[in-house]
Amino acid sequence: MTFGLVDLRGGRSAERLDAILARHAATDPGVEEAVPRIVSAVRTEGDEALYRFTREFDQVDPGAGAAGFRAAAGEIRELASAVSPALKSAVERAIFNVRLFHERQVQHSWTMNRQPGVTLGMRVRPLDSVGIYVPGGKAAYPSTVIMNAVPAQVAGVRRIVAVTPPRTFRGSPVVAYVLERLGIEEVYLVGGAQAVAALAYGTESIPRVDKVVGPGNSYVAAAKRQVFGQVAIDAIAGPSEVVVVADGSAEAAWVAADLLSQAEHDEAASAIAVTWEPDVAVAIVREVERQVARLGRSAIARESLARYGAVFLVEDEAAACELVDRLAPEHVELQVREPARLADRIRFAGALFLGNYTAEVVGDYLAGPNHVLPTHGTARFASPLGVYDFQVRTSMIAYDRGAFLRDAAAIEALAEAEGLGAHAEAVRIRAGRVGVADADAGAAADAESRGAVPAVDPLRLSRPLLGPEHSLPAARPEPVAFVKPSVRALAAYHL
C-alpha cells in the first residue's frame, strides 16, 4: 500500500485501517525463536554468554578484565566532557521539568480508622533496584535516560542501573552526560536480549535488579516478556505512533511535520491524521509528500508511511473521536479550534497534545510528563510511566482484641462457607471457643483464660516515607529561558 487519503465516510471500506490495527498482532518468528535461547544461555552461563553474544551481535570484544562490562567512571566523564554548553543547558532544562512534574505523582503511606480498635493503612515504599535499558541502533536516546531515571529517583529507588550497547554508549557523549548528571554510576556496556536477561537473573559482573524499564527493539521487547515474573517490567513497548486530529484551523504543513517526526522513528511506526474536512485532508497529503523528500531519514519515513500511515477522512468530529478511541494510540495531537473540548471526548490515549503549538516533540523532550507511553493500542488499559511504577504498596491491618471479637463470627462464617476449616479454626482458637457460638460468651471466656495476652496497638505509620538515604540532589535552576532552543538541541538525539 501507499500513503494517501482514505475516505471512511458512509461506511466505506476500512481495509487500510484494518491493516494498521493488525500491526499490533505482528510477530517475528526469528525473534521468537532466538530470544529464549539467548535468555536461557545468560541465565545458565552468566558472563560467558554475555561475552559471546557481545562479540556476535555488537561486533565488539569486551575483554575479560576485572571490571567486566561496567563502564569506567573516567570513561563516562571523558565522554560527557565533549557535550556542548548549549546541549548541556537543554539537558538541564529537561531534567528540571521532568523532575518537577513527577514530584506531583509521589504517593505516601496513609492510615484510616474504620471502627474502634481497627486501623487500616497502605505503606508505600520505593523499589530497591531498577535497570534502565538505553536503546541504540538507529539513534542515541538521552531522553530515554531522563524519562526513566528521574521518576525512579523521585520515588527513592536506591540502586539505578543502566545498560546500553557498547557502540551506542561510546558514540553518544550526550547519553554519558545525562548519566553523569543524574548520578548513575553503575553502567554496563551490554545490549539486546542478553542485557535484559542479565538484569533479570544476574551474572558474575551484573547483579540482578527488581524491575527492568526502557524501550528497545523487538529482541528487547521479547526478552522483557520472557523474564516477566522473575522481575517486574514497565511494558512491552512497540513502535512509535501518533494520531493528529485536525480541522480547518490546523496548518497542514505543521500536521505533516508532526506525522513525519513519528514516521522517521522506524519502518514499523504509525503516523495518522484524522479530519472531517476534505480540503484539510488533501492539503495534509500534499504537505507530507513535499516534506518527506527533504528528510535525512526519508527512506525510513517513506516505508513507515507506506505500511502504517494514512490521512483518514471521517463524517464528523464524533466519528474522529471514535476512531481515535479504536486506535488507542501512544500520542494524540488535537490541532483543532477547541482542543480542550475535544480532549474530553477522547477516552483512550497515552498522551494528549492540545493546540497547534503543542507539537508531540515538546512532550518527547521538555514539557515534563513522561514520554514512555502505552503503544499498540494498550492505552485502553495502560498508563504513562510514572513515579508509581517505582513504588510498591503494602496493605497494613491492625485489630485489637475487642475489634477481633466483634468480627469473629462473620469471619468464621465466611471461612466455613468456602470449606476452609483451618481458616475458621484460626478464628475460634483466638476467641477461645468452638463453632459459631455467642461472641459475648466467647469473649468472656477468653478474657478469663487469657487476660495476660497484650492487646495489639493500632498501626503507627508516622515515620517519614523516605529516609536520608533516599534524598535526591537538589534540582538546578532553570538554565534556559526559552523552550525552542532546548527542543531543537535535543531533537538530534531522539529519533
- Angle among Cα 171, 177, 182 to the nearest 5 degrees reads 135
- The 310-313 sheet, strands edge to edge: 5-7, 310-313, 270-275, 241-246, 331-335, 351-354
Q: Are strands 110-115 and 118-126 parallel, antiparallel or unpaired?
A: antiparallel
Distance between CA atoms of residues 322 and 161, nearest Å: 41
Bridge partners, residue 335, by sequence? 246
Whether residue 154 contacts residue 392, with contact meaning beta carbons closer than 8 Å, is answered with no
Distance CA 91, CA 263 (A): 24
Instruction: Write down the catalytic residue from 330, 333, 360, 412.
Output: 330
Cβ 337 vs Cβ 247: under 8 Å: yes
CB atoms within 10 A of CB 25: 8
331 is catalytic: yes
- β-bridge mates for residue 129, sequence order: 159
Q: If residue 161 lies in a helix (H) or strand (E), which one and from where to where?
A: strand 159-163
Strands (E), 199-309: 211-213, 232-233, 241-246, 270-275
Please, are residues 220 and 208 in contact by the beta-carbon 8 Å criterion? no
**DSSP state letter for 456:** P
Note the Cα 488 to chain centre separation in Å. 24
> Which residue of the set 265, 331, 371, 376 is catalytic?
331
In 235-330, where do the E strands start and end?
241-246, 270-275, 310-313
Active site residue ranges? 330-331
